[in-house]
Structure 1
Amino acid sequence: MSSAGDSRRELAKFLRSRRERITPDEVGLPAGPRRRTVGLRREEVAVLAGLSPTWYTYLEQGRGIQPSREVLDSLARVLRLTEDERRYVHSLAHGSVVQTAPLTTDVTATDLIRQVVAQFDDSPYPVYAGDQYCELVAWNQAACEWYDDWSALAPGHRNFLHWLLSSPLARERLVDWEAVTQDTVARWRAECARHPDDPHIRARIAEFTRLSPAFGDWWESHEVLEHRSAVRLFRHGHLGVQAMRIVVLQSPEFTPSGVVLHLPAAAE
């Protein structure tokens, strides 16, 4: 997404995808024997949300109208959006990134992130850091053991999502590879909404779509997630299947980078 127009189109596609997954029965409407529409009709969503059907149609067509936060919350209620999805539509419509003041030190945010990760060099648990493009900024030795030796990859391929989509080792190491990859795509979609004017994101989307048909399908499903703690199952050559809890640490000072910590956890 590289412009306000792109954000409007993405919002339109997202609203349509969520409208189509709600059945009339779920909102107390009769389906009718001759109904052909998948999910709810536009006018039904509009009435339930207290909006003009014409205005809502324009919104789903990506026209240049600006929905208020109250309208978005009303649509979120009607379409039964999750909290992550509600934040996503607000990001698309209004933006949610607060620009922080530049660092006044003699090092960049990336330098600081690398210094933070370096403190975990002796940890038996993986630690890595990524940016808004899923580029891998830094990682410790344990990440090489449990994931892959990312330093051996070409610089342009040192990207977590690229690795998930293209590396056979990703499927071998991650027991729930498909679920992990889908979650990563959903989290990246939420992140992309915070950077609507970044052309590199559009380039990455095109690259990943060419790389993997599965990515294209998952991207078009419009699923979104925010970063939250989760349990990930690993398959280790000597230790067998092990569960670790993933915790993402982010700070305004380090935006857009985040540090991913792994902690021991029982399998869920």
Structure 2
Amino acid sequence: MSGDNWSRQELARFLRSRRARVMPEQVGLPTGGGRRTKGLRREEVAVLAGLSPTWYTYLEQGRDIKPSVQVLDSLARVLDLSEDERRYIHTLVHGQVTNPQPLDGPAWSGEVMGPLVGLMNDSEYPVYATDIHCNLTAWNRACTEWYDDWAGYCPEHRNMLRWLLVSPKAKERLPDWERVTTDVVARWRSELAKWPHDEGLTARVAEFARISPLFATLWRRHDVQEHRTITRRFRHPKRGLHTLRMALLVTPDEPMIGLVIHFPVPA
């Protein structure tokens, strides 16, 4: 069995199992009338999801059709899927998750990420947490030496990309400032494609274009680059020019929060 065929059959089996789990009263349907089907009927799922009953039947039969992201999310709503289950059907159909939401568990930006950065407070190298908006949500003491004292900024200006664009300290600490900024904008643009419904991101783009001609120019270029481990040069006030390697760690629990860790480049 080919990979595509297996995915279609697995999606069909999964949808049938989730449909059997949803009781009619959960979606406002009557429970009487000699109902023999456990859970919802196929045509009921189709109508509630705004689909053709025949088309949905084909889907449960594993036919060679490919539902859109919107259709999958509509089915997830009707079948009361958890975020784990919603991600699963997206992966089966498209090979990746679109617009992932936080999984059940601690809030990484508060309950976990802050204490995790705190554990690295004695490190001589920077560690910081940032969200999809580039907001800096936590950082260790070393960041004040290698980057800046972000605690001195008002909360709405504690943003890595904004800092790069407007802070004189960014040009002072980063000898390759323009290349770094170009790289961050390209990586941010690539990341934004995963969150098409986040209006806050659209507002951030407009804000950055308003305060920075460089950002406006870079944004019009449409350069994109995926996140990867990179090196960055710093002009440290005591150590002078120094190169560090940077790695981004992201947890599936909270895909909008990332931990950026700096460490020495091996000799």
Query: TM above 0.5, one fold?
Result: yes
Name the residue aligned to 1:235: 235
Amino acid at match of 1:218: L
**Aligned residue type for 2:215:** F
For 1:207, what is the secondary structure of its paired residue?
A: helix
Structure 1 pair 211/100, CA: closer, same or farther in 2 (3 Å)?
Answer: closer
1:95-106 map, 5 Å: 96-97=97-98, 99=100, 102-104=103-105
User: What letter is aligned with 2:104?
Assistant: L
Query: Residue 216 of structure 1 aligns to a residue in which SS?
Result: helix
- In the TM superposition, residue 253 of structure 1 has moved relative to its aligned partner by 1.0
Q: Does 1:181 align with 2:181?
A: yes
Report the alpha carbon displacement of residue 113 of structure 1 after superposing the two structures with TM.
1.1
Give the corresponding residue for 1:260. 260
8 Å CA contact 1:232, 1:245 repeated in 2:
yes
Q: Residues of 2 paired with 1:115 and 1:255: CA distance?
A: 18
CA contact (8 A) 1:243 1:266 kept: no
Following superposition, the deviation at residue 102 of structure 1 comes to 3.1
CA distance in 1, matches of 2:151, 2:102: 32
- CA shift at 1:216, angstroms? 0.6
Please give the per-residue CA displacement for 1:149-173, whole angstroms capped at 9, x wherever unaligned: 0010011100000000000000000
Shift of 1:96: 4.0
Please list the CA deviations of residues 112-164 of structure 1 after superposition, one character each: whole Å capped at 9, or x if unmatched.
11121111000000000100000001000001111000010011100000000
Cα distance in 1 for residues equivalent to 2:245 and 2:264 = 6
Give the corresponding residue for 2:33: none
Q: 1:157 & 1:98 partners in 2: Cα distance? A: 26
**Greater C-alpha radius of gyration:** 2
Greater relative contact order, per chain length (Cα 8 Å cut-off, separation 6+): 1
Amino acid of the residue matched to residue 103 of structure 1?
D
Match of 2:248 in 1: 248
Q: Which amino acid aligns with 2:258?
A: G
Give the Cα–Cα distance (whole angstroms) in 2 for the partners of residues 96 and 189 of structure 1. Answer: 17
Aligned amino acid, residue 185 of structure 1: V
Aligned-residue CA RMSD (Å): 2.0
How far off is 1:230 after superposition? 0.7
| SS class of match (2:210) | helix
2: CA distance between counterparts of 1:205 and 1:149?
24
Distance 1:220 1:185 in 2: 11
1:254 Cα shift?
2.6
Retained in 2: the 8 A contact 1:117–1:139?
yes
Aligned structure 1 segments of 4 or more residues deviating by more than 2 angstroms: 94-104
In 2, the alpha carbon distance for the partners of 1:259 and 1:219 equals 25
Structure 2 equivalent of residue 192 of structure 1: 192
Q: Does 1:146 align with 2:146?
A: yes
CA offsets 1:160-195 (integer angstroms, 9 cap, x no match): 000000000000000110011001000110111111
Alpha-carbon distance in 1 for matches of 2:159, 2:230: 20
Distance 2:128 2:250 in 1: 12
Deviation sequence 1:239-268 (CA, Å, 0-9, x none): 11000001111111131110000010169x
- Does structure 1 conserve the Cα–Cα contact (< 8 Å) formed by 2:101 and 2:254? no
Which letter maps to 2:129?
A: A
Amino-acid identity (%) = 46
Note the alpha carbon deviations across 1:7-54, whole angstroms, 9 max, x for none. xxxxxxxxxxxxxxxxxxxxxxxxxxxxxxxxxxxxxxxxxxxxxxxx
Structure 2 length as normaliser, TM-score? 0.62
Equivalent residue runs for 1:4-19 within 5 Å: none
Q: Which amino acid aligns with 1:109?
A: W
Residue-by-residue CA offset, 1:206-241 (whole Å, 9 max, x unaligned) = 000011011011011101111101110000111110
Q: Does the 8 A contact of 1:128 with 1:138 survive in 2?
A: yes
TM value normalised by structure 1: 0.62
Aligned to 1:221: 221
Distance in 2, Cα, partners of 1:101 & 1:257: 10
Within a 5 Å distance, the mapping from 1:1-268 to structure 2 comes to: 96-97=97-98, 99=100, 102-104=103-105, 107-111=106-110, 112-265=112-265
